[in-house]
Amino acid sequence: MKKHLLFLGPPGAGKGTQASFISESNAYLHLSTGELLRQEVDKKTTLGIQIKEIINSGKLVDDRLVLEIVKQNLASNKKGWILDGYPRNISQADSLTKVLSDLNQPLEKVFYLNLDEEILVQRLINRGRTDDNEKIIRTRLDIYKETTQPLIAYYKNLNILEYIDGDRDLKTISDDIKQKMAS
Ligand code: AMP
């Protein structure tokens, strides 16, 4: 059973939902950088206020800051893990490779969840987070296409990419992921 996993895909594809479900059923750590950043926002610290502004513009938070969060959470973790929302660009992917090599926990599989763009937009509008209005959603999708999508080829070249059709019901998708984790 694979235990060092990454979920990749556009905002709204269901990464968070699937990552929580799979991590709970395997007692793995679910490391969502978006969730950890939102927790910092909720603390209303100076840093939190800066992060809030970036999240609500739909742009990406500074690579170094997110890397610190990831490092801290992985270093203190003794279980399997699922990364959700990290890395978001090639530079973050390179940093991650280095961190994981230092920890001796190489990434075993990357699940790429995808969905039709208009379904994504509709789903996000219905979700209703503070960064889920249509203008911000379009910015996030543009940034996704420009900076995050190249990671698909990056992990494909490493032979660890698995494509998951996100346009199915939750259970069918999680069964598919579980089956692919076992091989
Ligand atoms: P998410 O919950 O993954 O949709 O992330 C929400 C927001 O948090 C993103 O739009 C970014 O502003 C920020 N964020 C999350 N993960 C990262 C990351 N790996 N790098 C930079 N910014 C991030």
Q: Using alpha carbons only, give the angle 134, 9, 26 rounded to the nearest 5 degrees.
A: 120
Ligand 1 lining (C-beta closer than 6 Å): 11, 33-34, 37, 54-55, 58-61, 66, 85-88, 92, 140
What are the helix (H) ranges across 84-182? 90-103, 117-127, 134-143, 150-157, 170-182
Query: Is the pLDDT score of 183 beyond 90?
Result: no
Which residue among 88, 91, 139 is best mutated to probe the pocket of ligand 1, counting the most ligand atoms within 8 A of its Cβ?
Answer: 88
- What percent of the chain is predicted at pLDDT more than 70? 100
The pLDDT of residue 59: 97
What mean pLDDT is predicted for residues 31-60? Answer: 98
What mean pLDDT is predicted for residues 88-108? Answer: 97
- pLDDT tens figures, 131-182: 999 999 999 999 999 999 999 999 999 999 999 999 999 999 999 999 999 9
C-alpha 58 to ligand 1 mean position (Å): 8
The pLDDT of residue 52: 98
pTM, to two decimals:
0.96
The residues pairing with 30 across neighbouring beta strands, listed in sequence order, are: 82
Query: Is the pLDDT score of 39 beyond 90?
Result: yes
The pLDDT of residue 139: 97
In single-letter form, the type of residue at position 140 comes to R
